[in-house]
Structure 1
């Protein structure tokens, strides 16, 4: 769908919501609903960044993410997260590079079509921050990875009529640990991940 077609639709949706109907978002865990949340792929972004020849930072992204969150605001350590990302959804500003990243020398999407993260431990670092450790699988290799997670906000969504919650997570992996060694060290081994995760109950 072209941008010119999307903008009127977004405007219409916004105008259809009565003024004042949207409740103010909260970051207070006591006001967040417990339960099972489904990841919203339309509002979830997975962005990676890697050093490029020592003179620039190159970024790309993954989309079509799916997953579930079992959220217990009263006992966050009991919460669990499962996320699956299709490797073929990788995207960069270069179509040629995007195709190369899907190939056997890099992520090998044909042989390893998904990457995943399954939490194993949640440690609270503050009222709205946590370290979430889990098993990260990439390129057929599974290793523990820790994500620094911050609660962005939670709100009864006036458009979807669902209770929505969002987090930002940041982490770092060494791609060579997962067997992706092409052009190391010219292209950085360390890959920074930033995930904007949106969930609906």
Structure 2
């Protein structure tokens, strides 16, 4: 049995030489000027907030669509437009996920989509401050993303030129009409974003 498992493992390694190393690297010189589309399968927004001083609640948005326009020769002209389907929100609790979609909070039936549109980008090496307008539950407020390049290269699966970024931000949910259970549940919401874009 051990010999069979060893042989199977070796066969798998031999059959996948294209994955011997990570194809993406945090090297801005690999980025081609283009308009890239969001890779919705590998883009997420994770949010967290303090729950009554006892624990930290986490949730996630996925299934995003949008675009990123980049020109390495003029990085400050970059433009990001992202649509976030609120129905893509999820948590570890089905009951809590359902409550998030209700009128108490996101009111998904009335406000099915959130949107981020960048208004300025300030680049410093492989990091950037991306200022933009976030529209959530019908309210638009400015938000600043602290972003950094995760990697650029060619995706061996899709064969597409790909760039990836990580970013963080902080918002106050009360500013977007999400004041349910304040102040027992925290107002500050931390956002952590990982995003991939394909040409």
TM-score w.r.t. length of structure 2 = 0.89
Is this contact kept in 2: 1:121–1:133, CA < 8 A?
yes
1:185 Cα deviation (Å)? 1.1
1:88 Cα deviation (Å)? 1.4
1:17 Cα deviation (Å)? 4.6
Deviations 1:73-92 (A, max 9, x none): 22110110000011111111
1:159 Cα deviation (Å)? 1.4
1:125 Cα deviation (Å)? 2.9
Matched, 1:69 2:61: no
Is this contact kept in 2: 1:175–1:189, CA < 8 A?
yes
**C-alpha distance in 2, partners of 1:30/1:72?**
11
Could you tell me which residue of structure 2 aligns to residue 185 of structure 1? 183
**C-alpha distance in 1, partners of 2:190/2:54?**
16
Q: Which runs of 4+ in 1 moved over 3 A?
A: 11-24
Q: 1:134 to 1:161 in 2, by over 3 A?
A: same
SS state at 1:54 partner? coil
Indicate which of 189, 192, 195 corresponds to 1:194: 192
1:24 Cα deviation (Å)? 4.2
**C-alpha distance in 2, partners of 1:32/1:64?**
24
**C-alpha distance in 2, partners of 1:136/1:13?**
45
Q: What value does the CA root-mean-square deviation take over the aligned residues?
A: 2.1
Matched, 1:139 2:156: no
1:25 Cα deviation (Å)? 2.6
**C-alpha distance in 2, partners of 1:198/1:13?**
27
Aligned length: 190
Could you tell me which residue of structure 2 aligns to residue 125 of structure 1? 124
Is this contact kept in 2: 1:150–1:169, CA < 8 A?
yes
Is this contact kept in 2: 1:22–1:156, CA < 8 A?
no
**C-alpha distance in 2, partners of 1:187/1:94?**
17
**C-alpha distance in 1, partners of 2:110/2:182?**
22
Q: 1:78 to 1:102 in 2, by over 3 A?
A: same
Deviations 1:25-81 (A, max 9, x none): 332222211101000011111100010001211101011111100011221101100
**C-alpha distance in 2, partners of 1:19/1:36?**
26
SS state at 1:42 partner? helix
**C-alpha distance in 2, partners of 1:58/1:165?**
30
Which protein has the larger Cα radius of gyration, Structure 1 or Structure 2? 2
Q: How does 1:1-40 map to 2 (within 5 A)?
A: 17-19=16-18, 24-40=23-39
TM-score w.r.t. length of structure 1 = 0.88
